């Protein structure tokens, strides 16, 4: 089942249900904000204070950061993490090859609004596959006459039992940029979260494994060799208007990315796909 839905305030989303899972995807931002295998707890964390309003980004789920990650390097006044996450995508098609799998294809094309923020003609296509695992593929096509460079991320917020129960495998011996100290460091051991963390790891060519108390998640990336790990911890959770004070205890962002040294140059008539498979 693939159904287009609308909240009373006019916010559009798509509801998916098959024999493996249920999911919900907002047309604004192509934002997946719910995925749940039958008989299991939801995979994604969404803040109870999230805005489901046109023009306001949702806190949680899997926001799309594009065509830049973080602050724009040329103009800091431009939207944090780009404009895709608050842009309305077009629902191109929904496919149900069998009772166990569903696929959505959404698209965002450049317009007078987007070229006013980023002066390139392009097409962004999002393919979301709902089955026994979750797959998200973000394809950028250069429709311009000039090359351009993008940085991006599938900004996955995972729901966890408690942050003290979490470890992340697959980062050992990797270099990372610490956004808190603004310096490069090296990961010496399995990562555990016991303070604010905001890091961009480079060379993440192997799957990352998120080990929780009663659940193990594997995040496999294609078209990416960087990953972002983020938890705001207590002080920032309190400061953020769309998070509860204790939000940091039940969420962790493990993001498939093209960030910092992993930014990608795309030439005219070429494309690049950033993909994450989570299961």
Q: How many CB atoms neighbour CB 142 within 10 A?
A: 21
For residue 252, which of 43, 32, 26, 21 has the smallest C-alpha distance? 43
pLDDT value at residue 76: 84
Q: How confident is the model at residue 77 (pLDDT cuts 50, 70, 90)?
A: confident
CA–CA separation, 117 and 78 (whole Å): 7
Examine the pLDDT at 206 and tell me if it is beyond 90: no
- The domain limits of the chain are 2-278
- Among 31, 34, 81, 255, the one annotated catalytic: 255
| Predicted local confidence at residue 138, as pLDDT | 98
Q: Is the pLDDT of residue 178 over 90?
A: yes
Asked if residue 42 has pLDDT above 90, the reply is yes
Query: Which pLDDT band holds residue 74 (cuts at 50, 70, 90)?
Result: confident
Residue 33 confidence (pLDDT) above 90:
yes
> What's the DSSP call for residue 263?
-
**Is residue 21 over pLDDT 90?**
yes
The mean per-residue pLDDT over the stretch 259-264 comes to 96
**What confidence score (pLDDT) does residue 253 get?**
98
Query: d(Cα 123, Cα 159) in Å, to the nearest integer?
Result: 31
> What mean pLDDT is reported for the chain?
96
Catalytic: 155?
yes
Q: What is the pLDDT of residue 107?
A: 98
What are the pLDDT digits (tens) for 234-246? 999 999 999 999 9
Three-state DSSP at 104 gives strand
Whether the Cβ atoms of residue 250 and residue 193 lie closer than 8 Å to each other = no
Phi first, then psi: give them for residue 160, nearest 5 degrees: -125, 160
Distance CA 23, CA 264 (A): 30
Provide the pLDDT for residue 172.
94
Confidence of residue 93 (pLDDT cuts 50, 70, 90): very high
Task: Please write the tens of the pLDDT for every residue from 134-171.
Answer: 999 999 999 999 999 999 999 999 999 999 999 999 99
> Which pLDDT belongs to residue 66?
98
Using pLDDT thresholds of 50, 70 and 90, give the confidence band for residue 209. Answer: very high
Model pLDDT, residue 237: 96
Q: Active site includes 38?
A: no
pTM of the model as a whole: 0.96
Longest dimension (CA), the chain: 51
pLDDT band at 270 (very low <50, low <70, confident <90, very high): very high
- Point out the catalytic residue in the list 53, 155, 183, 196: 155
Tokens describing residue 211: 């080990």
Q: Classify 41 as helix, strand or coil.
A: coil
Q: Average the pLDDT over 253-263 and give the result.
A: 97
Give the CB-side neighbour count of residue 143, counting CA atoms within 13 A.
13
Q: So what CATH class is 2-278?
A: mainly beta
């Amino acid at each position: 089942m693939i159904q287009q839905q609308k909240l009373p305030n006019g916010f559009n989303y798509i509801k998916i249900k098959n024999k493996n899972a249920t999911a919900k995807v907002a047309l604004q931002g192509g934002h997946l904000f719910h995925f749940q295998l039958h008989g299991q707890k939801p995979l994604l964390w969404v803040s109870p204070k999230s805005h489901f309003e046109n023009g306001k980004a949702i806190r949680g789920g899997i926001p799309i950061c594009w065509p830049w990650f973080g602050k724009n390097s040329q103009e800091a006044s431009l939207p944090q993490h780009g404009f895709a996450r608050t842009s309305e995508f077009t629902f191109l098609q929904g496919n149900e090859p069998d009772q166990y799998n569903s696929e959505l294809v959404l698209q965002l094309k450049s317009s007078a609004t987007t070229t006013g923020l980023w002066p390139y003609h392009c097409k962004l296509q999002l393919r979301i596959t709902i089955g026994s695992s979750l797959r998200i593929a973000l394809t950028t096509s250069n429709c311009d006459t000039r090359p351009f460079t993008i940085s991006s991320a599938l900004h996955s917020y995972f729901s966890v039992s408690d942050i003290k129960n979490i470890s992340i495998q697959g980062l050992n011996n990797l270099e990372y940029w610490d956004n808190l100290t603004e310096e490069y460091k090296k990961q010496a051991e399995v990562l555990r979260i016991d303070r604010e963390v905001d890091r961009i790891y480079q060379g993440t060519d192997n799957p990352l494994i998120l080990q929780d108390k009663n659940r193990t998640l594997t995040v496999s990336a294609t078209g990416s060799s960087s990953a972002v790990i983020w938890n705001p911890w207590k002080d920032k959770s309190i400061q953020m208007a769309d998070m509860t004070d204790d939000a940091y205890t039940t969420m962790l962002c493990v993001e498939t990315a093209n960030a910092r040294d992993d930014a990608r140059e795309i030439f005219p008539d070429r494309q690049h796909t950033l993909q994450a498979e989570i299961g």
